[in-house]
Amino acid sequence: MEATAVSLARSVLDGVLSRAGSAVADEAALLLGVRREVDFIRDELEMMRSFLKVAAANPDADDTVRTWVKQVRDLAYDVEDCLLDFALFADTSSSSWLRPRRLAERHRVAARIRELRAMVEELNQRFQRYHVVADHPRVLLPRGGGSDDPQLADQDAGYSAELAFQESDIIGRAREKAEVTALVLSGAGAGALGVVSVWGMGGMGKSSLVRMVHNDPVLLDAFDCGAWVTVPHPLDSADEFVRRLRRHLGVAKEQPDVHAYLREKRYVIIVDDLHSKEEWEHIWPVLHADAGQGSRVVVTTRREDVARHCAGHVREEHGHVYELRPLGREESKDLFCQKVYKSTEYTLEKEMEDQASPILKRCRGLPLAISTIGGLLANRPKTSIEWMKLDEHLGAELESSDLRNITKVIVSSYDGLPYYLKSIFLYLSIFPENHEIRCTRLLRRWMAEGYIAKNRDMPVEEVGQRFYNELINRSMIQPSKKRISPSVSVDRCRVHSMVLQIILSKSIEENQLFLVKKHCNEVPQSKIRHLVVSRWKRRDEKLESINFSYIRSLTVFGDCPASLISPKLRLLRVMDLEDSLNLKNEDLRHVGELHHLRYLCLRGTDISKLPSLQNLRYLETLDIQDTKVTQLPDGIAKLEKLRYLLAGINFSKELLHKVEQPETDNRKASLLGNMVSCLYCNGGDFCGISSLDRFSVRAPEGVEKLRDLHMLGAINVGHGNGVVGKLKKLTNLRRLGVSGIIDEEGQDLCKSIEKLNRLQRLEVRSNSLQFLVESDFSAPKHLLSLRLYGDLVKLPKWIGSLNDLAKLKLLGTQLKQGEIMLLGKLRNLASLGLWENSYIGNSLNFGAGTFPKIKFLDIDGLKKIEKVTIEYGAMLELEQLWVKDCKELLDSEEGLSGVPHLPNLNELLVKKCGEKEELMEILQTQVSEHSKRPKFLIGKSIVTTSPKRRRTQ
């Protein structure tokens, strides 16, 4: 990962040059009288960026080059810091520069610019003094160029880095092997050429699995010839691939055309470790030689988009995409015991089991990690203290030669990223192990840090979303759940524990990140850019030794030290205190002085009052959702760059269930207690949700001036001050949440919503939603998500026109069967939540042909429901069916019928529905006989559906 410094330097330089070339920078340079200095710095930095592009192509640069690259990066940071001060002063009127205090600041900034010019000149002289290029001409060689040695090119011997453990060590993949073999053999011997793409994270064992398939005697008998070719990188043409293919096929040199040779055969060719679509475009013309004999090409890749691209080159029935997922808990344990004790039947003692569990948890089903760590422990004393030491010091162990196979595979994935993805991926080291990272949180932080720039006419949010999706496609981050619709992003993701350990050490090494933990002893002496406080024990004196003046992001997990937030954080862009503990109102008293702040998140804290924020003119995100704040401070309307204003209680079913659980966080329980008592009053009878108004924040005065707002909610607009009618001026809104609508204001709200053509997510909370039915208006045609809370009874006509709607959640709407049938006609609806009192009938029927695209159905709290019926032909793409808190369900087949009619079901959950022994037995039988053998969950338990499936959960 030596390219890390280069990638970081290039990312910083991109941002610096963008700012240095802006009109704001030009204006500030004129005001300060340093125009020549700024032009000089800009020109020099452009040359440095050009050099870095060359350096990035050479992974073997020596220490001289690497040292110079790091110095370029650090200087770029210093220049960017100064440019931030540029912009801050340029935002004020030129007349204010004549004030004595402003004059002093003006001289300080100008002096700093001249100092930076001198530093740039010195760095340039150092570059020449040590002959970084002259004495190191190989720096200028493109990566992979200059070698014609066939032995070097063939040193892979047909194996990729993923084949780091023996085939005999592959445990728990019998089902996967059978499934992939079946895909390869389907149609073989007749018909057209087929492609099977196997994809998954690096270290998942794709190559090992395909090697087992490739060596299967049944498969060998089905084809005339075969070859295994590991793709060389970079692959700029087909020549090297053809040479390797020729050698593995045993094609004589006198037969020049491999394509013609293959045309006469029924072949199976493995294309191992494919990195990109571009590589496939070089390879495919060589392999596309089948003469109707049913040949097969099997591809392994770490990227989902590449896998789908390859399979898309043949007819749909001959193209298959197979995702190789992590091992289950039992398989992981079997593989671990096989490596440590040479037996899958070994029974661990209780003490050893306790130490093995956290190790396996960190491996999270990654076969390469389990196999390598197991092999290491096989050669060490088999004691609990030895295993405990490895778990505690895993980061250091990964840097040793014993675990180099894990590091090698992960580093190769990292090195394959384009430079603009390396910096944002490294940024994920801020979040702790096993932490589920909210997509929106990540994107807004990336934006605030300057990692994402607008691409021509594409909004910065869309650019960031593409980067996020690309990291998922490349298996660098793992989605917490499968995407339900192409139009809906994956809500949360996480970084694999092994990957996190490696990028964490790299971030710390590059002086980008410093972690303050309860066991922390050392304090960094160098400049740090990102500070993370995790599980700190409130010994604030340790924090006083840290230099806060260069910190750009502050993130707290757990207790927030009282003295942490101070004016010393003058360059801070991101303050993320989400879910931090013991945060008090007075701890925020200096926040308004942090002029460069772009992201302020207090979500899930005990804060009830905010200080003045009107001087935070660069603030883009203000997230106070799930706090006790009910009123925003004066001056919010002056924050013209504000894009995301998130407030009030996120009234979701998930929070309501947290309140019901005994382990509920007391803080949120007290906050939501009144809400729950309202919803569950009188033994479950619906009593309205008008009291929800107090759980939203009053709309700020002048909200219509915030023209850049993309998200606003949930705000209380029911104050008769005309704010409802002013919402139509916020034409950039993508998400809106409102509550407190008074009857006469309902029509005004509908008229405002009608003008918001870019709106994608709408949430309306009110005691009565009748105005939505009575109003004749056109809803935004691109609406993706709709949440309705309140008495509705009948669906508005405009809902039928929402052809793009993917997610719908209903609470308290009191709909009847006829309305459910209307919802079933929404052609792109992928997720439906029918929650407390959203439906009032005794039976709920999903008719044939309805809900054609739905993948997730969540029925929760329908207290009167006795029957849920899914007819044959309904919900054919449904993958998850949840039925919770429906205690009146009949304890018979009629209680929940139609499960066998759901061909794509992979999860059935029945929870808190009372004692239903007969129904549970029927469902268990149906699930066991289902072709997909879905998980069957009763509460937190997974019911055994077959001996095989039990081990995959």
Report whether 171 contacts 338 (CB < 8 A).
Answer: yes
Task: Give the model's pLDDT for residue 144.
Answer: 35
Long-range contacts, stretch 129-133, CB < 8 angstroms, 24+ apart: 130/64, 130/68, 132/64, 132/65, 132/68, 133/51
Residue 841 clears pLDDT 60, i.e. is over it: yes
| 356-360, 806-810, 944-948: segment of lowest average pLDDT | 944-948
How would you class 374 by CB atoms within 10 Å of its CB: exposed for 0-12, middle for 13-18, buried for 19 or more? buried
- Nearest to residue 714, comparing CAs of 700, 734, 695? 695
pLDDT digits (tens, 9 = 90+) for 174-229: 888 999 999 998 866 667 889 999 999 888 889 889 998 988 888 888 888 889 99
- Nearest to residue 714, comparing CAs of 651, 771, 620, 770? 651
In sequence order, what are the residues at sequence separation of 6 or more whose Cβ sits closer than 8 angstroms to the Cβ of residue 242?
258, 286
Number of domains in the chain: 6
Task: Give the model's pLDDT for residue 516.
Answer: 79
Is 48 within the bounds of a domain? yes
Task: Give the model's pLDDT for residue 668.
Answer: 45
* CA–CA separation, 214 and 177 (whole Å): 10
Determine the structural domain holding residue 373 and report its residue range.
336-416
Domain end, chosen from 364, 385, 416, is at: 416
Is 466 within the bounds of a domain? yes
Is 145 within the bounds of a domain? no
* CA–CA separation, 219 and 197 (whole Å): 17
Query: Does 530 lie in the same domain as 492?
Result: no
Report whether 73 contacts 12 (CB < 8 A).
Answer: yes
* CA–CA separation, 903 and 931 (whole Å): 7
Query: Does 931 lie in the same domain as 799?
Result: yes
Task: Say if strands 492-494 and 437-438 run parallel, antiparallel, or are unpaired.
Answer: antiparallel
Task: Give the model's pLDDT for residue 679.
Answer: 43
Residue 419, amino acid: Y
pLDDT digits (tens, 9 = 90+) for 296-316: 999 999 989 999 999 998 888
Query: Does 310 lie in the same domain as 367?
Result: no
Q: Which residues pair with 194 in a beta bridge?
A: 296
Residue 787, amino acid: R
Task: Give the model's pLDDT for residue 433.
Answer: 84
Residue 330 clears pLDDT 80, i.e. is over it: yes
- Nearest to residue 798, comparing CAs of 776, 817, 820? 776
As a whole number, mean pLDDT of residues 357-386 equals: 84
Length of the chain (residues)? 953
Task: Say if strands 319-323 and 478-479 run parallel, antiparallel, or are unpaired.
Answer: unpaired
Domain end, chosen from 629, 646, 663, is at: 646
* % of residues, the chain, pLDDT over 90: 31
Is 157 within the bounds of a domain? no
As a whole number, mean pLDDT of residues 434-439 equals: 89
Query: Does 480 lie in the same domain as 430?
Result: yes
Alpha helices in 618-681, H assignment, sequence order: 653-660, 666-679
Task: Give the model's pLDDT for residue 237.
Answer: 85
Residue 115 clears pLDDT 70, i.e. is over it: yes
Query: Does 704 lie in the same domain as 780?
Result: yes
DSSP string, 389-403: HHHHTHHHHHTSGGG
As a whole number, mean pLDDT of residues 581-599 equals: 93
Is 914 within the bounds of a domain? yes
pLDDT digits (tens, 9 = 90+) for 54-107: 665 555 556 677 777 777 777 777 777 777 776 676 665 444 544 555 666 667
* CA–CA separation, 200 and 946 (whole Å): 26
- Other beta carbons within 10 angstroms of residue 224's beta carbon come to 12
- Nearest to residue 736, comparing CAs of 786, 695, 693? 786
| 101-110, 813-822, 921-930, 932-941: segment of lowest average pLDDT | 101-110
Query: Does 864 lie in the same domain as 850?
Result: yes
* % of residues, the chain, pLDDT over 70: 77
| Alpha-carbon separation of residue 174 from 177, 225, 942, 949 (angstroms) | 5, 25, 21, 12
Query: Does 126 lie in the same domain as 11?
Result: yes
Alpha helices in 723-841, H assignment, sequence order: 723-726, 743-755, 770-774, 817-823
Report whether 230 contacts 158 (CB < 8 A).
Answer: yes
Report whether 790 contacts 768 (CB < 8 A).
Answer: yes
Q: Which residue has the tokens 């990291």?
A: 471
Quick one: tokens of 102? 């402003």
As a whole number, mean pLDDT of residues 411-429 equals: 83
- Nearest to residue 764, comparing CAs of 724, 706, 804, 729? 724
DSSP string, 247-313: HHHT--TT---HHHHHHTS-EEEEEEEE--HHHHHHHHHHH----SB--EEEEEES-HHHHHHHHTT
Q: Dump strand ranges (E) for 200-249.
A: 225-230
Is 178 within the bounds of a domain? yes
Report whether 112 contacts 82 (CB < 8 A).
Answer: yes
Instruction: Output the average pLDDT for the chain.
Output: 80
Task: Give the model's pLDDT for residue 23.
Answer: 57
| 376-390, 557-571, 892-906, 918-932: segment of lowest average pLDDT | 376-390
Residue 137, amino acid: P
pLDDT digits (tens, 9 = 90+) for 666-706: 444 444 444 444 444 444 444 444 455 566 788 888 899 99
Query: Does 233 lie in the same domain as 120?
Result: no
Query: Does 357 lie in the same domain as 454?
Result: no
Cis omega (within 30 of 0) on the bond before 5? no
How would you class 119 by CB atoms within 10 Å of its CB: exposed for 0-12, middle for 13-18, buried for 19 or more? middle
pLDDT digits (tens, 9 = 90+) for 470-506: 888 888 888 877 766 666 677 889 888 888 888 888 7
Query: Does 421 lie in the same domain as 409?
Result: no
Query: Does 751 lie in the same domain as 701?
Result: yes
CB-side exposure of 647: number of CA atoms within 13 Å?
A: 28
* CA–CA separation, 743 and 815 (whole Å): 20
* CA–CA separation, 275 and 656 (whole Å): 44
In sequence order, what are the residues at sequence separation of 6 or more whose Cβ sits closer than 8 angstroms to the Cβ of residue 262?
249, 287, 289, 290, 295
Residue 643 clears pLDDT 90, i.e. is over it: yes
Is 773 within the bounds of a domain? yes
Query: Does 314 lie in the same domain as 353?
Result: no
CATH of the domain at 577: 3.80.10.10
497-509 and 404-415 helices, crossing angle to 10°? 70
DSSP type of residue 898: -
Residue 362 clears pLDDT 90, i.e. is over it: no
R_g over Cα of the chain: 30
Task: Give the model's pLDDT for residue 678.
Answer: 43
Quick one: tokens of 508? 């710390």
Task: Give the model's pLDDT for residue 888.
Answer: 94
* CA–CA separation, 193 and 205 (whole Å): 25
Is 678 within the bounds of a domain? no
CATH of the domain at 456: 1.10.10.10
